[in-house]
Amino acid sequence: MRLDKYLSDGGMSRSQARDAIARGRVRVDGVVAKGAGSPLPPGAQVTLDGEPVLPRGPLHLMMHKPQGVVTAREDRRLPTVFGLLPEALRVRDLSPVGRLDRDTTGLLLFTTNGQLAHRLISPRFAVEKSYLARVEGPLLPAHIDAMARGLSLSDFTARPAALTILEEDLGRLVIAEGKYHQVKRMFAALGCPVMSLHRERIGPVTLDLALVPGQFRPLAPEEYSALCALTGLEDT
C-alpha cells in the first residue's frame, strides 16, 4: 500500500498526509519518509510526530504499564492506561486483557478481538501469567512447595503455581488464573507481603524490554498468531 493511502486510512485526508510527509513528520521503521507514493513494506511501523499510526481493522497492542495508572477507560481521579494511548487509538474498540493493579507494572495487552481477550483471562484456558514479585522476605523452599500444592485463601483455593526464588526477597510466580489481587494474596498468605509487582509474560508473549513504562507497540503478527494458537482461535 502507498504511504499516503495508509495515513489517510488512519484518519487524515490524502492532502494532510502528503503535507505531513513533505514536512518530515512521518517515519517508516524509524526513517523519515521521502515520498507520499512510496510503497510500504508489509508490517512496517509508521509514526507521525513519533506516535504510531496503526492500520484500520483488528488491532492488538502490548503496553508497558507504569505504576500509578489504573486499568480503566476513564477514572474521575486517577490517570488511566487508555489515557496513555493517542486519541486515534482511544476511539477504537480496544479491551485490556485483564487488569493490573494501580501499583503493578509490566505487560498489559489490548485487543479489538473480544473473544481472544476473554479466552486469555478465562480459567478454562488456563493461560500462564508470569510475575516478578519483590516481597518482604525471606522466600524459602517451603514457599515453593506451598505454592505448588495450591493455596487456600479466604474465598477460593488458588490452583498450583510455580514459584522460583531469584533472590532472598524476589520471586517469579507463574499462575494460570487471575482472581482479584491474586498474586498479592498468595504471597501474603505465606507471610511475605508484596512490595512491588511486575508482569513479564502472558502465555507466549513477553514484555518487550525496549518499551519504557508508559510506551506501547502493536503486537507482531507472530505474537498474535501464538496467542490465537494457544486459545484455539483462528488467526484472522
Q: Which residues are catalytic?
A: 101
Q: Which residues bind ligand URA (CB under 6 A)?
A: 100-101, 104, 181-184, 197
Please tell me the distance from the alpha carbon of residue 77 to that of residue 139, in angstroms, as a whole number. 36
To ligand URA, the closest distance from the beta carbon of 153 in angstroms equals 11
Q: Which one-letter DSSP state was computed for residue 83?
A: G
Greatest pairwise CA separation for the chain in angstroms: 66
Q: Give me the phi and psi of 81, to 5 degrees please.
A: -65, -35
To ligand URA, the closest distance from the beta carbon of 229 in angstroms equals 24
User: Is the CB of 52 or the CB of 178 nearer to ligand URA?
Assistant: 178
User: Is the CB of 33 or the CB of 197 nearer to ligand URA?
Assistant: 197
User: Is the CB of 15 or the CB of 196 nearer to ligand URA?
Assistant: 196
User: For the chain, where are the E strands, in sequence order?
Assistant: 26-28, 31-32, 46-48, 51-53, 60-65, 95-96, 105-111, 129-135, 162-167, 170-175, 194-202, 205-206, 216-218
To ligand URA, the closest distance from the beta carbon of 197 in angstroms equals 6
